[in-house]
Amino acid sequence: MILFDTHAHLDDEVYDQDRDAMIQRARQAGIKHIVNVGFNLETALGSIKLAEKYDLIYAAVGFHPHNAAEAGPGYLADLEKIASHPRVVALGEMGLDYYRDLSPRPVQQRVFREQLSLAKKLGKPVIIHDRDAHGDIMDILRREGLGPAGGVMHCYSGSWEMARDCLEMGFYISIAGPVTFPKAPRLKDVAARVPGDRLLVETDAPYLTPMPHRGKRNEPAYVFFTAEEVARLRGMKTEDLAQMCTENGRRLFRIA
């Protein structure tokens, strides 16, 4: 079994007591690559430190919509500088979150647009966060356009029709633990229909723990359960689905 957890937050303090053991469990579960994703400059630098320490971890750097209000003057220059690190494979996560609204919506939108522009300048793929903001996300993406390096709609939660539009733009669709939940018919439908060469799986650890561990802290080893459910929905063997998604992730993030 070869697996790629394309989105995690392993610098989170919930792992401070057992991070090495947690990463060892990931290795034992067949995880070959993990993209650790930043929320702001502090966590972006933390992601790089993890990537320097563990050979299976790569970093993504950016400002989450929750943290958009922290993006002060000069933040784009700071991001550009740290994105040059050889272990940084993407910009993100970036986007809009109208569920919690922890940053003003106009600020979220501006920081999102600015990061999209920077990603095109740097030739890096983008990792998009979208919660309860489908309309504005799609409007901004249509206006700004996706650079040739592409991107991924992380922890996808929209409709099949929206997924189809994202695919036409050049995005990959990443499926997380909620696909394993009994009451997730729309997500299960999307997971079954996304073209095989555009499909990814992720944990978003420590969040969104899949069945049968729902309610506990998530970790990369549990991406197996998401892959298993997506494989079932697509009528595939889990090993084949895992291999396919790993190859997709390597292609998007340019990992040999």
Task: Find the helix packing angle between 105-122 and 75-83, rounded to 10°.
Answer: 40
Band of pLDDT at residue 234, cut at 50, 70 and 90? very high
pTM: 0.97
Q: Are 3 and 227 in contact (CB under 8 A)?
A: yes
Q: Are 209 and 177 in contact (CB under 8 A)?
A: yes
Task: Please write the tens of the pLDDT for every residue from 121-153.
Answer: 999 999 999 999 999 999 999 999 999 999 999
Q: Which residue type sits at 231?
A: A
Band of pLDDT at residue 102, cut at 50, 70 and 90? very high
DSSP string, 98-145: TTT--S-HHHHHHHHHHHHHHHHHHT--EEEEEES-HHHHHHHHHHH-
Of 1, 8, 3, which Cα lies nearest the Cα of 248?
3
Tell me the average pLDDT of the chain: 97
The stretch 90-98 carries a mean pLDDT of 98
Of 163, 181, 160, which Cα lies nearest the Cα of 225?
181
Decide which of 3.40.50.150, 3.30.160.270, 3.90.1640.10, 3.20.20.140 is the CATH code for 3-253. Answer: 3.20.20.140
- Using the 8-state DSSP alphabet, how is residue 54 labeled? -
CA distances for 134 relative to 56, 106, 139, 192, 247, angstroms? 32, 15, 9, 21, 28
Other Cβ atoms closer than 10 A to 46: 19
Bridge partners for 31 per DSSP = 3
Band of pLDDT at residue 227, cut at 50, 70 and 90? very high
Band of pLDDT at residue 38, cut at 50, 70 and 90? very high
How many residues belong to the chain?
A: 256
Q: How far apart are CA 162 and CA 105, in angstroms?
A: 21
Domain ranges of the chain: 3-253
Q: How far apart are CA 252 and CA 172, in angstroms?
A: 8
Q: How far apart are CA 222 and CA 177, in angstroms?
A: 9
- Using the 8-state DSSP alphabet, how is residue 205 labeled? B
Q: What's residue 235's pLDDT?
A: 98
Q: What's residue 203's pLDDT?
A: 98
Provide the CB-side half-sphere exposure for 147 (13 A, CA). 19
Q: What's residue 29's pLDDT?
A: 98
Which pair of structure tokens corresponds to residue 217?
A: 């802290």
Strands 3-8, 88-97: parallel, antiparallel or unpaired by DSSP?
unpaired
Q: How far apart are CA 229 and CA 54, in angstroms?
A: 28
What's the first-to-final CA gap in the chain, in angstroms? 18
Q: What's residue 91's pLDDT?
A: 98
